[in-house]
């Protein structure tokens, strides 16, 4: 109910301000009015994003978010995230590099997995300087069998004594009126919460030279590595990446024998 009451007027504000800013019903004689409409639209979008974040935090703290786990292709999920990140980089004037993606079958909630990764990527863009670099890679960790998402940026970094705090809700490294970056302090909290709901964890590393690397690890029992499949037939249902498992090809690449008979 609260969500509806908040979103409805904000959607109207955002929609009408966009119409005015784009002069869809005719030109505006005074350019400042158009600029004001653009400012209203940008502020409205920011406020809507903030409200959605607060509602998500509330749902998390009340344990109302339940992962809908299903077998998914890691490559497909990460490729979608990379496309979104490339568009974000163009808008912000940053350099985005999609470095690597390993294929694997993940038993995760695809929406929560993508949202967690996007939150980390957007946080990297937010704290990177104009023209700054943001890198993304997704890889198997052979030593542990985990699947890792790693995002690196060239931002100012985080003081060592504050690294643990930045994943707390609404925490800001820079406080008061001297803040140089936007943000609500929600993104990394939600990202870590979504990953931990799958039994994984999220870690931050900040070298003294600057920049930040965020690693989000999915635990090995939710990962099936196609390059190192189990010796026996995969016991997980259904295997979406194990190259020794015929079910992979039957489900994702070719019509099954039963479907051919039906035809």
Predicted confidence (pLDDT) per residue in 143-198, tens digit: 999 999 999 998 888 888 888 888 887 777 655 444 454 556 788 999 999 999 99
Under the banding of pLDDT at 50, 70 and 90, the label for residue 199 is very high
User: What is the architecture, at CATH level 2, of domain 70-223?
Assistant: 2-Layer Sandwich (3.30)
Question: Starting from the edge strand earliest in sequence, which strands make up the sheet with 105-108, in order?
Answer: 70-73, 105-108, 223-224
Residue partners of 198: CB distance under 8 A and separation at least 6: 67, 69, 108, 109, 112, 113, 218, 219, 222
Confirm if 97 and 135 have CB atoms less than 8 A apart: yes
Q: How many of the other CB atoms lie within 10 Å of CB of 57?
A: 18
Give the Cα separation of 199 and 203 in Å (integer).
14
pLDDT, tens digit (0-9, with 9 covering 90-100), for 50-108? 787 788 788 888 888 889 999 999 999 999 999 999 998 998 899 999 999 999 999 99
How much is the pLDDT for 174? 54
How many residues does the structure list for the chain? 263
What is the reported pLDDT for 112? 94
Return the pLDDT at 261.
39
Q: Encoding tokens for residue 164?
A: 């643990």
Question: How much is the pLDDT for 262?
Answer: 42
pLDDT greater than 50 at residue 249 = no
Average pLDDT over residues 199-222: 92
Q: Determine what percent of the chain is predicted with pLDDT higher than 90.
A: 44
Q: Could you give the 3-state DSSP secondary structure of residue 212?
A: strand
Q: What angle do CA 86, 114, 236 make, to 5 degrees?
A: 130
pLDDT-based confidence at 230, cuts 50/70/90? low
The answer to whether the pTM exceeds 0.85 is no
Distance of CA 146 to the CA centre of its chain: 18
């Amino acid at each position: 109910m609260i969500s509806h009451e908040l979103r409805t007027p904000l959607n109207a504000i955002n929609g009408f301000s966009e119409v005015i800013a784009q002069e869809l019903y005719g030109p505006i004689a005074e350019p400042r009015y158009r600029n004001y409409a653009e400012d209203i639209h940008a502020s409205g979008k920011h406020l809507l994003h903030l409200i959605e974040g607060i509602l998500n935090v509330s749902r998390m703290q009340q344990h109302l978010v339940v992962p809908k786990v299903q077998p998914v292709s890691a490559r497909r999920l990460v490729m979608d995230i990379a496309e979104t990140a490339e568009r974000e980089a163009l808008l912000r004037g940053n350099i985005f590099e999609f470095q690597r993606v390993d294929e694997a079958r993940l038993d995760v909630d695809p929406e929560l997995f993508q949202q967690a990764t996007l939150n980390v990527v957007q946080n990297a863009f937010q704290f990177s300087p104009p023209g700054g670099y943001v890198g993304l890679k997704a890889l198997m960790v052979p030593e542990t069998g985990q699947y890792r998402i790693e995002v690196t940026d060239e931002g100012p970094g985080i003081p060592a004594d504050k690294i643990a705090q930045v994943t707390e809700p609404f925490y800001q490294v820079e406080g008061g009126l001297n803040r140089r970056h936007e943000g609500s302090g929600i993104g990394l909290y939600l990202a870590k919460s979504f990953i931990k709901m799958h039994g994984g964890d999220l870690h931050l590393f900040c070298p003294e030279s600057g920049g930040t690397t965020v690693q989000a690890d999915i635990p090995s029992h939710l990962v099936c590595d196609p390059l190192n499949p189990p010796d026996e037939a995969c016991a997980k249902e259904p295997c979406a990446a194990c190259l020794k498992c015929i079910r992979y090809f039957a489900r994702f690449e070719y019509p099954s024998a039963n479907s051919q008979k039906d035809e």
